[in-house]
Chains A and B, each alone.
Chain A
Amino acid sequence: MVEMRLDGNAIAGLLREIFAMEMTDAQGTCGNCGAVNEVGRVQVYVHAPGTVVRCPSCEHVLMRIVRGRGKYWIDLSGVRCLEFAEA
């Protein structure tokens, strides 16, 4: 069952579509426990009605992403802060 869990690399393409830049090396601060991790390190569940991203330290939901009917619905409220370099 642990095979259901991937990491941030699995959503690199999806995040690129949304943010229009590479995000896996961006640093996110978990709104629940304060852990700071590169997006590449987060836990990712893709076998679901949507994509669920969880903190690798406390498993709290960082992001939810749903695609359908030509739209994205994104909840980033689990991420207190996202840091990445300017181009």
Chain B
Amino acid sequence: MARAAVLGRLGCQLGTLAELKPETPRVSSLYLDVPKWPGHLAGQHVDVRLTADDGYQTERSYSIASAPEDRRLTLTVERLEDGEVSPYLVGELRVGDKLEFRGPIGGFFVWEAQDERPLLLVAGGSGIVPLMSMLRHRASASRKPPARLLYSSRTFEDVIYMEELARLAAAGDGLSVHHTLTRDKPSGWTGYTRRIDAAMVKDVAWPKDTMPAVFVCGPTSFVEAAAQLLVDMGYEPRWIKTERFGATGG
């Protein structure tokens, strides 16, 4: 990764909300125009800072959903019921409003299409967001390593990017998408209907002798369970990169 791009303290930037797109009942994508955006890598995040008129400030990190190739910077945010920041981003913020943030941030949980290893992505809930940036980046790349996504959601309604994932998987360029729902069994559903377990991981994950690049993202307990299942299958811990969202915050 080009280190020259990641020196120096990050200044705060202002992006303008150009479009707000609901993805699920609780999740929306914010499309931001950011003048002089330096570019980013798939998997990075921004630290959003909100300031009230009495000077009170608070910050939260949000993964970048857009590919480096996309015109606008996109954040996909889940509105948490007792959240402090997410109900503002998904609920109050309007097209034309400005949002202050620092970024892009992150050098560990990043993926570039020039990495030729087979790619395995494992997402729990809103953990899909940085992995979507990776898949969108992969879709623009001329050389695409084979990729598999295992995506766990609570119910059918909660699945983010459902149609876009189906479209990417149908492109016939080596991506397969596997869904599991943990609290739902809709009629006609052909995906899994249970928490991820050893059998599911064995079906979906690349065989260990392919030495894949693995990214796991979601709530802490999901990430640790998934990573452990992969290690139990014989994966080397160093192939697996994890990003825990935690249950609080938002």
Asked if A and B touch directly (CB within 8 angstroms), the answer is yes
A-B contact count (CB 8 A): 85
Query: Which residues, 17 to 36 on A, are CB-close (under 8 Å) to B?
Result: 17, 20-25
Partner of B61, one of A10, A20, A86: A10
Q: State whether A24 and B244 are in contact (beta carbons under 8 Å apart), knowing that A2-B220, A13-B102, A17-B9 are contacts in the complex.
A: no
Among the interface residues A8, A22, A40, A86, which one has the most CB atoms of the partner chain B within 10 A? Answer: A22
Residue of chain A at shortest CB distance from B217: A9
Query: Which residues, 25 to 56 on A, are CB-close (under 8 Å) to B?
Result: 25, 38-41, 47
Proximity string of chain B (214-250) to chain A, C-beta cutoff 8 Å, 1 when within and 0 when not: 0000011100100000000000000001111111100
Find chain B residues with CB under 8 A from A3 CB: 219-221, 246-248
Interface size on A, residues (CB 8 A): 27
A7 in contact with B105 (CB, 8 Å): no
Find chain A residues with CB under 8 A from B107 CB: 12, 22-25, 40
Partner of A5, one of B3, B47, B106, B244: B244
Interface residues of chain A, those whose CB is within 8 Å of chain B, are: 2-10, 12-13, 16-17, 20-25, 38-41, 47, 85-87
Interface residues of chain B, those whose CB is within 8 Å of chain A, are: 1, 3-4, 6-10, 45, 47, 59, 61, 102-103, 105-109, 219-221, 224, 241-248
